[in-house]
Structure 1
Amino acid sequence: MLQRSQRVLETIPVGSLGLIPLKSCEELGQKVNDYLVEWRHTNELEHKENIAFTGYERDSYLIPAHTPRFGSGEAKGTIDDSVRGNDLYLMVDVCNYSLTYKLYNYTNHMSPDDHFQDLKRVIAAIGGKARRITVIMPYLYESRQHKRSSRESLDCALALQELVNMGVENILTFEAHDPRVQNAIPLHGFETVTPAYQLVKGLLNSTPDLQIDSQHMLVISPDEGGMSRAVYLANVLGLDMGMFYKRRDFTRVVNGRNPIIAHEFLGTDIEGKDMIVVDDMISSGESMIEVIRELKKRGANRIFVFSTFGLFTNGLELFDKAYEEGCLTKLLTTNLVYQTPELLSRPYYVSCDMSKYIALLVDTLNHDVSISDLLNPYDRIQALLNKYQEEHPQV
């Protein structure tokens, strides 16, 4: 990772930095805040005492915000501190189903819709007083409903338009299901960030005997939609790639989709090679498990699964079974969405922390400096690979 000390940020900040992680994103927000506090206390900034840098160095950049609910399920947004003139960064995890609220006499788990409404409530509580508002939404709300097929709602596009109409200037997300959804807000900032560096780092740190070359390893895309992701990773690591495509039964619809008949493989021989299966998200995990089993049938050695978002909507039973059978070696996802204690306790699971990367993005944007070099992790991954090869010369 590019160190904060290597970045020269001498430009005047857009405004006094404020970080507002909603309750769904509290833990990640606290880690981001800790990095920012540490960097700004230790940074030898030439103009730190200048009036333009008032409030630059603080013990915390967190601004308390709450979204209390009434017994009917209705809610409101409140902010405890003044935010006038601040450069605000709001963080929300729309997938955090662990949070609950009372609805009449029932306990209701928060859905993505609830989290999105709470985000809008906090923006409404800001009341236009902030200098600039940036929303950091790691899992883009409704991102799987990104294009229209016949008479359907375009929820993601509508959500983005709602945010910018409320005064949001920039939206930061990770691995948007289809980045073209930004066409809905062409005059505002929209960045989709890849966690490729953190996933590769997690793999290298947890596995000491990898041979990262095209003779011993292959990158696999589990479907045609993730091809560009797999192509990028294969190019960066200097590997070949293969892909599966889903053969579907277009004569039937089950749970709103045409059922998958089979996974067909396109690519070179995989006998005895390690596999990196890369996808943007694991929802139920059924498709991923089918891909893993198909790779094992074809003679794959170890199988490592990379996924930005591990939702595990049907629990971990499928992955537990695959691990016990020797089909799954390691499962790596980020902490950008809620992780259950059960997931964190699994022997095959590796959590990739994204807080430092987010802090770098926030720190850089607050200075109104380009983040282009942060968005392309190629050089950092190469440095990581070189270091790994030096530390493991026998491999």
Structure 2
Amino acid sequence: MQEIGLGTILLNNSIENYLLALLFLIAVYLMIKIFDKLLLGKMDLFVEKFSHSFSVLLKKIIKKRIYPLLYLLALFLAFNELKTSSQIDSFINLILMIFTVIFVVLATLDIITYSLKKYWTKKQRSEEQQKVLSITLFLIKTVIWVIAFLFILDNLNIQITGLITGLGIGGIAIAFAAQNILTDLFNYFTIFFDKPFDIGDFIITGDYRGTIEHIGVKTTRLRSLSGEQLIISNTDLVNSRINNYKRMKQRRINFSFGLTYDTPVEKLSQIPGIVEETIKSINKTEFDRAHFAEFAASSLLFQVVYYVKSSDYKVYMDIQQQINLQLKERMKELGVNFAFPTQTIHFADKENFHSSLEKIQKIEAENKADELNDGQIN
């Protein structure tokens, strides 16, 4: 009876080769376990100091994506050292390639999903916009899995040129048929990710103004100041200039008022200080300047600039009203008057004026006497 030793050949390989392959697999397994118990825990503690969510993602990728891939790679290297038939080699290579693609795609999708959800959590989102996240992830996953599937088919020596051409032609045909819809959909994603406005913002676009009520896939709806609802396509919004008043941090106000021409110079010089004091006494304001600007047609004109630290139009109007009332009171205390449109005619020669006036009155009296005489004769 033949003795069985390390050199015994079994299926074209010695028992020694089988043992070496098994020892290699055991060594890889032990190395992964040591890394998992010692180094991964420390690395996880270090990463968790900066971001708990990223730490969870990193552990998931390493344990569920990288570890299985390392096991497959170790199995491949172990079998590669053994003499096997070409069919078995091809099968092992195929299995390794397929699983490698799958695990790489899964790890990529984990990172993309984490990034998008991290971006979403930074801003408040409506329920409808949360659905967009699911749709976006679905589209991204579909595209990546299709690319991975085509990659696998190409490595299996399957001709995919015709398939890609057919998909391209079909995609072009669909794009032409639904051009307007796809344009609005693309612009919706532009609005969604660029965020030029949010629901509740007051905007002006072209001749239209109103508060954003709804951001849809094809249209955006505004509630105008007069009450009606404005429905504007996303394409029109993206292609137009938008004034977003909700995001205005402060409002610059420029207003003017006039005093009468008989105001003394010494009182005129006090006006800028009174205006500055008045504005600074009101909350949510920042004084900029106040000047005696010009000699207007019927007034001595003062120009004032200040800032309201609020985007709310009602707050601005309340502050302007306070300023107007206080200025009215202060001007009254100072003894000066606000100007209004008037005209004063000055005559250079008073004697000629009185002489001309007497002649006019004399002519009018003679005309009246003639009219009375004519009436008596008739």
Alignment TM-score, normalising by the size of structure 2 = 0.18
Q: Kindly indicate whether structure 1 or structure 2 has the higher relative contact order, using CA contacts under 8 Å at least 6 residues apart.
A: 1
Name the structure with the higher strand share: 1
Q: What TM-score comes out, normalization by structure 1 length?
A: 0.18
Structure of higher CA gyration radius: 2
Higher helix content, 1 or 2: 2
